[in-house]
Amino acid sequence: MAQSSIEWTQQTWNPTTGCNKISQGCKFCYAEILSRRLHAMGLEKSTPMALS
């Protein structure tokens, strides 16, 4: 879990760790691009998005 600055909670958890490319719209997936960008920038907790 991660510490949060959201006023109504102290911690957050995101169970999503990857995705399945299911349509042509996935060609321009913002989440995959952002994941790769943050990893390339050396963000400590960032790992490339798992695709299946």
The total number of residues written for the chain in this structure: 52
Residue boundaries of the structural domains of the chain: 16-51
Report the C-alpha gap between 49 and 52 in whole angstroms. Answer: 10
d(C-alpha 44, C-alpha 13), whole Å: 17
Q: Against a cut of 0.85, is the pTM above it?
A: no
pLDDT digits 0-9 by tens, 1-52: 678 888 898 888 877 667 888 999 888 888 888 888 888 888 777 666 666 5
